[in-house]
């Protein structure tokens, strides 16, 4: 009987290949798929109807349907999973209730927990740090619901073998409680699926980087269904809901759309990560190029400063050398009682006696005339053309 209650695992086979992020819940609005049958003497009379539960995150596409007694009402949502549910996937949560509200059937939110020596998730997980049997889980659920745990219900042996690395445990238990003047009976059903992942660890080959020891991570997911009705009506209700046609029915088209959307979101996230990484690399390259350009500019400026300093030093040295040479030549002229004169027209330099202040040279450049009379001019007085010479330093500098 429990296999018919947990057909949600059918749609999760595909979803587990992708994973889920986010923790939103689809809106709880529901749409009737068929008309409600006429009122009969019992809420279980009048046949059944199927009602869709939409996924509001996928344009209200029907995510699944629930077949229930025609007079009953349905509330349902699609939990989208994510960190708030201990890294789970999309799954249904619904309640079908009789008109008086005393009888109802509900698929509870998934319960998850994890433990181990490796990286274990904590957000949204139950505070259970080890394995727990399906029957022990129902005892804890009974205490949480504040109902009396009566005992386990015999179940047929499971026919399907669990996948490698996965264990599956199923259980049912009867409970009871008092609702005002009504003695209530109930039944809890669960399927607990656990997976184990072993990580081999890594031996460090770099100094300063510690080795990673081997580790193990265990994760369990429990799906719980709850059936309850007044004790006098419980058997009749269970007989109706025991039909394979009752309860949850998967919408394969929705499952495919959900997977495609997640894949698209994953690709968009990967593209965004790649774009961000490329932008970071480009920014790093730009920073490196800027640094290199600044360093090159500083290097060029340093060389220019070095060259300017060298040129200034050489010019200074040349000036000093010229000055020393000039002083030496002036000293020679002084020692020889001579002076150096220059023809302003030709730049020719010659030596003359320092006893006179003015020196004239004829056009041949070989005959000179000296005097201390500033107004004296041999032109027109002496044959030839005469040019007044300029007194310069011994090396010819002005």
Structure tokens at 165: 């690395």
> What's the confidence (pLDDT) of residue 288?
85
Q: What is the mean pLDDT of residues 242-249?
A: 92
Per-residue pLDDT averaged across 50-77, rounded?
94
Task: Tell me if 49 sits within 8 A of 65, measured CB to CB.
Answer: no
Q: What span, in angstroms and rounded, lies between the C-alpha atoms of 237 and 227?
A: 9
**Looking at the predicted structure, is the pLDDT value of residue 225 above 80?**
yes
pLDDT band per the 50, 70, 90 thresholds, residue 282: confident
Domain boundaries, the chain: 2-201+213-250, 336-392
* Confidence check: pLDDT of 360 > 80: yes
> Cβ distance 283 to 289 under 8 Å?
no
| Strands laid side by side in the 338-342 sheet | 349-353, 338-342, 390-392
Distance of alpha carbon 123 from the chain centroid:
20
DSSP calls for 107-139: EPPPEEEEEESS----TT--S--S---HHHHHH
Task: Collect contacts of 281-287 with beta carbons under 8 A, ≥24 apart.
Answer: none
Nearest CA to 219 out of 126, 84, 135 is that of 126
Prediction pTM value: 0.60
Pairing of β 349-353 and β 166-179:
unpaired
Instruction: Please report, rounded to a whole number, the percentage of residues in the chain having pLDDT higher than 70.
Output: 85
Which pLDDT band, with edges at 50, 70 and 90, does 313 fall under? confident
Instruction: Kindly tell me the burial class for residue 232, based on how many C-beta atoms sit within 10 Å of its own C-beta (0-12, 13-18, 19 or more).
Output: exposed
- pLDDT of res. 83: 63
Q: What is the DSSP string of 169-207?
A: EEEEEEEEEEETTEEEEEEEEEEEEEEEEEE--B---ST
Give the residue-averaged pLDDT of 360-381: 81
Does pLDDT of 20 surpass 50? Answer: no
Structure-token pair, residue 385: 């053309």
Adjacency order of strands within the sheet including 48-55: 31-32, 48-55, 61-69, 247-250
Which range among 3-12, 164-173, 274-283 shows the weakest confidence by mean pLDDT?
3-12
CA distance 102 to 229: 6
Rounded to whole angstroms, how far apart are CA atoms 115 and 377?
123
Residue 149 — very low, low, confident or very high, per pLDDT cuts 50/70/90? Answer: very high
What does the DSSP assignment read for 264-290?
HHHHHHHHHHHHHHHHHHHHHHHHHHH
Res 193: pLDDT: 93
Band the pLDDT of 61: cuts 50, 70, 90. very high
As a whole number, mean pLDDT of residues 243-256 equals 92
* pLDDT in the model for residue 73: 95
Residue 237: strand, helix, or coil: helix
pLDDT score of 226 more than 80: yes
Backbone angles phi, psi at 97, to 5 degrees: -130, 145
The average confidence (pLDDT) of the chain is: 81
Identify which has the larger pLDDT, 36 or 218: 218
Calculate mean pLDDT across residues 72-94.
Answer: 83
Cα within 13 Å of Cα(129), Cβ side: 4
pLDDT on residue 34: 30
pLDDT at residue 22 is higher than 50? no
H helices present in the chain, as ranges: 2-5, 8-15, 134-145, 231-241, 252-335
pLDDT attached to residue 192: 95
Q: How far is CA 145 from the centre of its chain?
A: 42
Structure tokens belonging to residue 259: 């997977």
Neighbouring residues of 39: CB distance < 8 A, sequence distance ≥ 6: 46, 71
Average pLDDT, stretch 163-192? 94
Strand partners, 230: 184
Cα 213 to Cα 178: distance, rounded to the nearest angstrom:
53
């Amino acid at each position: 009987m429990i296999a018919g209650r947990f057909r949600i695992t059918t749609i999760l086979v595909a979803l587990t290949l992708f994973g889920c992020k986010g923790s939103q819940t689809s809106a709880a609005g529901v749409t009737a798929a068929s008309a409600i049958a006429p009122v009969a003497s019992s809420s279980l009379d009048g046949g059944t109807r199927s009602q869709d539960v939409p996924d509001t995150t996928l344009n209200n596409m029907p995510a699944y349907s629930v077949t229930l007694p025609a007079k009953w009402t349905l509330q349902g949502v699609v939990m989208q999973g994510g960190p708030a549910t201990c890294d789970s996937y999309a799954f249904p949560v619904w309640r079908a209730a009789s008109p008086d509200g005393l009888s109802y059937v509900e698929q509870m939110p998934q319960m998850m927990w994890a433990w181990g020596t490796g990286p274990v998730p904590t957000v949204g997980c139950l505070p259970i740090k080890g394995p727990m049997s399906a029957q022990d889980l129902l005892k804890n659920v009974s205490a949480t619901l504040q109902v009396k745990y009566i005992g386990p219900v015999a179940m047929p042996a499971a026919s399907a073998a669990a996948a490698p690395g996965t264990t599956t445990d199923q259980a049912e238990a009867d409970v009871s409680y008092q609702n005002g003047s009504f003695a209530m009976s109930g039944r809890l059903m669960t399927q607990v699926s656990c997976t184990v992942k072993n990580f081999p660890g890594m031996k460090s080959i770099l100094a300063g980087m510690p080795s990673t020891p081997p580790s193990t991570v265990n994760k369990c997911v429990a799906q719980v269904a709850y059936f309850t009705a007044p004790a006098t009506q419980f058997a009749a209700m269970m007989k109706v809901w025991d039909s394979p046609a009752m309860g949850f029915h998967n919408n394969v088209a929705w499952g495919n759309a959900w997977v495609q959307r997640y894949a698209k979101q994953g690709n968009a996230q990967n593209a965004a990560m790649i774009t961000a990484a490329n932008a970071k690399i480009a920014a790093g390259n730009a920073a490196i190029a800027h640094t290199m350009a600044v360093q090159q500019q500083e290097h060029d400026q340093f060389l220019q400063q070095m060259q300017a300093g060298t040129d200034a030093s050489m010019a200074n040295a040349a000036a000093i050398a010229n000055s020393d040479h000039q002083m030496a030549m002036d000293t020679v002229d002084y020692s020889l009682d001579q002076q150096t004169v220059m023809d302003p027209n030709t730049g020719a330099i010659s030596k003359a006696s320092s006893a006179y202040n003015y020196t004239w040279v004829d056009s041949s450049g070989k005959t000179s005339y000296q005097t201390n009379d500033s107004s004296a001019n041999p032109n027109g007085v002496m044959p030839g053309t005469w040019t007044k010479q300029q007194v310069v330093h011994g090396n010819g500098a002005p």
